[in-house]
Amino acid sequence: MLKTTLSKRQWIAICTGLLLTQPALAYIGPGAGLGAIALTVAVVLGLLFLFFGLVWYPLKRYLRKVRGNDPSA
């Protein structure tokens, strides 16, 4: 089996690297910021539509069929 634990020296190097980082001093403009927000909203909505399309509607159809309420069955 593959051993994935880190040694003490590796932990010290990781913690030191995280503690000694400097700010990026970067600026994101309003267009790029709104684009990032729009992309995030689009991904979240896409995942919700994916859930409803692939899980909810077939499950709802199956439950109607089991209960006997499905007029198309």
How does pLDDT run across 5-58, given as a tens digit for each residue?
778 898 899 999 889 988 888 888 899 999 999 999 999 999 999 988 898 888
Task: Kindly state whether residue 40 falls inside one of the protein's structural domains.
Answer: yes
Q: What is the pTM of this model?
A: 0.50
Q: What is the separation, in whole angstroms, between the first and last Cα of the chain?
A: 51
User: Do the beta carbons of residue 36 and residue 28 sit within 8 Å?
Assistant: yes
Number of domains in the chain: 1
Task: Kindly state whether residue 9 falls inside one of the protein's structural domains.
Answer: no
Task: Kindly state whether residue 7 falls inside one of the protein's structural domains.
Answer: no
Task: Kindly state whether residue 71 falls inside one of the protein's structural domains.
Answer: yes
User: Do the beta carbons of residue 65 and residue 72 sit within 8 Å?
Assistant: no
Per-residue pLDDT of 45-73, as tens digits, reads 999 999 888 988 888 888 888 888 756 65
